[in-house]
Structure 1
Amino acid sequence: MDDATVRMRLEGMLQELDRSIRVLKGDGVDLRDRSAADGGAHLTDSDRTRAMLDVAARQRTAVLAALKRLEDGGYGRCVDCGKAVPDGRLEARPEAARCVQCQSRAELRRR
């Protein structure tokens, strides 16, 4: 994939994430409009919304980092080992910063 196509995909992802974040943040409901029985459901909905916001914010950060790597000439290289990130991985996840092996190691460290 050429740089212009990558940039277009990443910028499109960024716009979509920003739109999703705005929707999720604007999804607040006045608690006074809920019955006492709905209280538990609201906590579950609130927790789910918070989790979705967290995921969207992390993905947004990854997309911004990918755009920065694109500008700096490091896009498509693993940030850990420096090897090329496979084209198939970048096609599926344009924001990917690591090759599959390094990503697996990073996920194991997080556990």
Structure 2
Amino acid sequence: MAVELTDEEIQRFRKILQERFEELKRGVREDLLRSDREHFTDLAGEVHDPEEASVADLVIDTGLAHIDRHISEIRAVEAALLRIGRGDYGSCVDCDQPIPLARLEANPTAERCIACQTDLERAEALVEPPTGQHHRTL
């Protein structure tokens, strides 16, 4: 059963989220600096055959995907910090019921209770085709 968070728990989550935010910002900064130093774009421009081009593209795409994941998590952390500021952290954004403490411990950026998150994921699965497949028009 979910219970309301205490002020101490909210402050603890605020600290966890702020620390994660700083860690993610450092990670993005380091990834961008590393990418710049390694000149991935130069590597892609200097390849001599299609196989080398594929490897260079993969290296570039992997680095960008890593940065994308960091940025997505930064947005989730910022949203959680905003919910703390508004006083509705720990409440499901869909049903307004308290999110269980165990769920927040596992994922401090959680914005939905398990039931609502499951419903959302099921709905998204029905809308989006599996990766690698395209809609066919009839």
Could you say which TM-score interval applies, normalised by the shorter chain? 0.7 to 0.9
**Aligned equivalents of 1:94, 1:46: Cα separation in 2:** 31
Unaligned runs of 5+ in 2: 1-7, 126-138
What is the deviation of 1:34? Answer: 5.4
Q: Which residue is 2:25 aligned to?
A: 18
Find 1:36's aligned residue among 44, 48, 51: 48
- Encode CA deviations 1:38-69: one digit per residue, 9 max, x unaligned: 43222111111221222111111110010011
Query: What is the TM-score with the length of structure 1 in the denominator?
Result: 0.87
Q: Letter of the aligned partner of 2:87 in structure 1?
A: G
Query: What is the TM-score with the length of structure 2 in the denominator?
Result: 0.72
SS in 1 for 2:74: helix
**Aligned equivalents of 2:20, 2:99: Cα separation in 1:** 19
Unaligned runs of 5+ in 1: none
Instruction: Name the count of aligned residue pairs.
Output: 111
Q: Letter of the aligned partner of 1:13 in structure 2?
A: R
**Aligned equivalents of 1:36, 1:9: Cα separation in 2:** 48
**Aligned equivalents of 2:123, 2:66: Cα separation in 1:** 23
Q: Letter of the aligned partner of 1:73 in structure 2?
A: G
**Aligned equivalents of 1:101, 1:22: Cα separation in 2:** 36
**Aligned equivalents of 1:105, 1:50: Cα separation in 2:** 30
* RMSD value, Cα: 1.9
Find 2:113's aligned residue among 90, 99, 102: 99
Q: Which residue is 1:47 aligned to?
A: 61
The change in CA–CA distance for 1:49 and 1:107 in structure 2 (over 3 A counts) is: farther
Q: Which residue is 1:82 aligned to?
A: 96
Residues 47-66 of structure 1 correspond to what in structure 2 (within 5 A)? Answer: 47-66=61-80
